[in-house]
Amino acid sequence: MNHQQVKSKLDGVGCGFCLAKWTQVTMHLDKGLTHSCHHPSPHKIPLHEIKRNPTALHNTSFKKSKRKEMLEGKRPAECNYCWNVEDNSNSFSDRVFKSAEEWSLGEFDKIKESSFRQDFNPKYVEVSFSNACNLKCAYCGPQYSSKWVEEIEKFGAYKGEINFNDIEYIKKRNEMPYKKSEYNPYVEAFWQWWPDLYKDLHTFRITGGEPLLSKDTFKVLDYISENSKDNPNLSLAINSNLTVPDKLIDKLLPKLKDLSDNNKVKKLEIYTSVEAIGKQAEYTRYGLNYDKFWSNIDMLLSKVPKLSIVVMATFNALSVFTYDELIDKVFEMKKKHHNKVRYNISAIQLDTSYLRWPNFLSVKILEKQHLELIYNSAVKALYYGQKQYDSNNYGFTNTEIQKIKRVYDYAISDDKFPKDRQRKEFANFIKQYDKRRDTNFNKTFPQLKEFYATHSER
Amino acid sequence: MLHIQKGNPWLFWPNHICDTFPEKPGNQKLSGEHNFNLNLEVKVNEVIGQKGTIFCILPRYTALDIYSNKLLFTITQDNNKPSYEELDVKIYDGVILKVKIEHIKNKTFKVFINGKEVFNWNLEKVPFGKATNPHIIFGAGNFPANGFNLNYTNLELYNFTLEDDTGIISNHSFKKFIFDKSYDISDNLNFIHKI
């Protein structure tokens, strides 16, 4: 079924009908928040609801009220991202793309005939058990990193035009995560629901924080290992910074091998992150051991041949100088670990997105000559392009190349980005960053020494 | 120099790998909607007794072929009708050919070999065959996966240029290669790659 047909089918129920409201969920258990797709803000899960019904981690009364609107031909206001797309362009909105997934569309009749009050087991689940993390990446924050919480509790928010990573603001928004040591009723509810949820899952993805620092991650792996007969077609994905202590990698490896070698899951992926190389990567992803990161990738791909790794790169102002070398490294791994046994064709993929927030770390603060480096990276990826997308070939895929090029297009796009203001904010942030973390920006980024000095003086 | 072994053809289709980059792929200039000049210098290692294709523009077959120890040029116009002519060029094993093709939209399609005009086709009534995704195969008459009309040839390509009304948009001296792709020294990303 093509996307137009999917849209017509959805519109047959109502102009706001979207299967994702039933079939997908991201549960931030560490914060007690949930949402079905990333466009509407996550909402708080009422504790009294999960007490009597653990599926309320997904089937909250709030979400049910939105499902009711959808079934009655209304458009929930929280989904306005899609309504904007549909009303102002000829493009299909994510409502269509998300509903068109085969594991989602297959539930169409069941959902259409259901009452909005009915609980529904989702097919695609992302879960964050904890914000415990051993890194504090420059563009991250206390909601997703316990290391950031420690820093902000010690030094306070970064001072600037808008105080960056202010815990008081996060508390006000009710987004402060439970500490790892605290009792978390949402995690308890998850485990009550899990045996029933697991059977119906198409994809399960564990995010964080750093999931390998959470005992719940290993509990999930053990459960799947013991109960795989209930769902042998599961796609399992785990996020990890792959720079955790060795003992955790040593603990993970045999579990992955068991799931993979014994076909206990259909697809196995690790999502990790890096967006520069060497010292520059370590500066931005504070706490990262760059060499260890790649040796872990190399080892995991060698020992678990069916595993795929996705490197999610948040391309920011500090990525430009070494991104082309990162492309070389990814290419080297693609070549080395190319095989015909994994579910995904690529051993490793570079999934590049541009950073939007915080604005002062965006590529848009940079000078024109810096932006050309982004273009050169896209050119390199193009020359490393995969001539045909099949298991006989390796290289960068159409999508990987396009996403790098998109960063350049974004960087040079003419919009109302307040460059001067954000450059000053950047310099202000770096000054505090170096002082708090005992880092040396000028030594790590000699290419931006003059830029930093110029905007520090203003 | 690019040595194209028999059975291992190369392809000029720069937007085949990524459909949005390069933004102005050179192969689109062969769509029948533009004027273009194509120049290449090629050594044909085996000619005698061979049936082979030196290069062809697809999907509507326009090609320089070897047949019965002679050179043939085939053009396919927009009525989908192929026409061919035997060229007055002496060939032998190891012959070096300097080929120039000149397409003037809706007017003429000319072929020069070693500086001499050997083919002149009038396009005033029927234009050159239009195509949305044209491309050139060097050393074969089709994609190996298609399994027919392959006519593999053993070649050495010394240079290749493609010009449109703005100037050179693809330029290869075949000195720099990246991952089975010949680097386009015009910096327009119009590379040639191994199939």
Q: How many domains does chain B have?
A: 1
A315 within 8 A of A323, measured Cβ to Cβ:
yes
Mean pLDDT of all residues belonging to chain A: 96
Residues A217 and A360 in one domain: yes
Residues A292 and A403 in one domain: yes
Residues A52 and A146 in one domain: no
Could you tell me if residue A361 is inside a domain?
Answer: yes
Residues A83 and A196 in one domain: no
B105-110: average pLDDT: 97
Q: Which two tokens stand for residue A248?
A: 């955790």
A15-27: average pLDDT: 98
Residue B9 in contact with partner chain A when CB distance is under 8 A: no
Residues A114 and A160 in one domain: no
Instruction: Count the helix, strand and coil residues of chain A and give each as a percent rounded to the nearest 5.
Output: 50, 10, 35
Least confident of A171-175, A203-207, A336-340, B109-113: A171-175
pTM: 0.93
Confidence tier at A347 by pLDDT (50, 70, 90): very high
% of chain A with per-residue pLDDT over 70: 100
Domain boundary among A96, A122, A148: A122
Distances (CA, A) of A23 to A59, A123, A171, B41: 11, 5, 30, 60
Residues A309 and A267 in one domain: yes
% of chain A with per-residue pLDDT over 90: 90
Residue B194 in contact with partner chain A when CB distance is under 8 A: yes
Q: Which two tokens stand for residue A31?
A: 């914060």
Helices (H) and strands (E) in chain B, counts: 0, 16
Residue B193 in contact with partner chain A when CB distance is under 8 A: yes
Q: For an interface test with B, which of A328, A332, A377, A383 has the most B Cβ atoms less than 10 Å from its Cβ?
A: A383
pLDDT tens digits, one per residue of A222-258 = 999 999 999 999 999 999 999 999 999 999 999 999 9
Q: What are phi and psi of B172, to 5 degrees?
A: -130, 125
Distances (CA, A) of A361 to A139, A140, A145, A357, A447: 7, 11, 18, 7, 15
Give the A window 349-408 contacts with B, CB below 8 Å: 378-379, 382-387, 395, 398, 401-402, 405
Could you tell me if residue A368 is inside a domain?
Answer: yes
Confidence tier at A96 by pLDDT (50, 70, 90): very high
Of B17, B180, B194, which has the smallest distance from its Cβ to A382's Cβ?
B17
Tell whether the model's pLDDT for residue A260 goes beyond 80: yes
Could you tell me if residue A252 is inside a domain?
Answer: yes
Q: Residue A432: how many CB atoms within 10 A of its CB?
A: 16
pLDDT tens digits, one per residue of B111-143 = 999 999 999 999 999 999 999 999 999 999 999
Of A379, A384, A398, which has the smallest distance from its Cβ to B179's Cβ?
A384
pLDDT tens digits, one per residue of B58-77 = 999 999 999 989 999 999 99
Angle at A222 between CA A220 and CA A223, to 5 degrees: 65
Q: Is A291 exposed, middle or buried (0-12, 13-18, 19+ CB in 10 A)?
A: exposed
pLDDT tens digits, one per residue of A170-192 = 998 888 999 988 999 999 999 99
Q: Which two tokens stand for residue B164?
A: 């449109």
- What is the per-residue pLDDT for A422? 96
Residues A222 and A363 in one domain: yes
Domain that holds residue A322: 139-420
Confidence tier at A391 by pLDDT (50, 70, 90): confident
Beta strands A348-354; A308-315: pairing state: parallel
Residue B18 in contact with partner chain A when CB distance is under 8 A: yes
Residues A209 and A321 in one domain: yes
Could you tell me if residue A132 is inside a domain?
Answer: no
Of A378, A395, A402, which has the smallest distance from its Cβ to B179's Cβ?
A395
Residues on chain A touching B22 (C-beta within 8 angstroms): 382
Residues A310 and A397 in one domain: yes
Q: Which two tokens stand for residue B136?
A: 């050139």
- What is the per-residue pLDDT for B11? 97
Domain that holds residue B190: 2-194
Residues A191 and A333 in one domain: yes
Residues A181 and A330 in one domain: yes
A188-208: average pLDDT: 97
Mean pLDDT of all residues belonging to chain B: 96
Beta carbons of A387 and B20 less than 8 Å apart: no
Could you tell me if residue A448 is inside a domain?
Answer: no
A310-335: average pLDDT: 98
- What is the per-residue pLDDT for A450? 97
User: Please, which residues have CB within 8 angstroms of residue A356's CB and are 6 or more apart in sequence?
Assistant: A362
Nearest of A152, A154, A172 to residue A164 by alpha carbon = A152
pLDDT tens digits, one per residue of B20-55 = 899 889 999 999 999 999 999 999 999 888 899 999
Residues A230 and A358 in one domain: yes
Q: How many domains does chain A have?
A: 2
- The contacts found for A165-168 with CB under 8 angstroms, 24 or more apart, are A165/A141, A167/A142
Q: How many CB pairs under 8 A join A and B?
A: 39
Could you tell me if residue A400 is inside a domain?
Answer: yes
Residue B124 in contact with partner chain A when CB distance is under 8 A: no
Could you tell me if residue A454 is inside a domain?
Answer: no
pLDDT tens digits, one per residue of A64-95 = 999 999 999 999 999 998 998 899 888 889 99
Tell whether the model's pLDDT for residue A458 goes beyond 70: no
Peptide bond into B59 cis (omega under 30): yes
Could you tell me if residue A65 is inside a domain?
Answer: yes
CATH code for the domain of B30: 2.60.120.200
Q: ipTM of this predicted complex?
A: 0.94
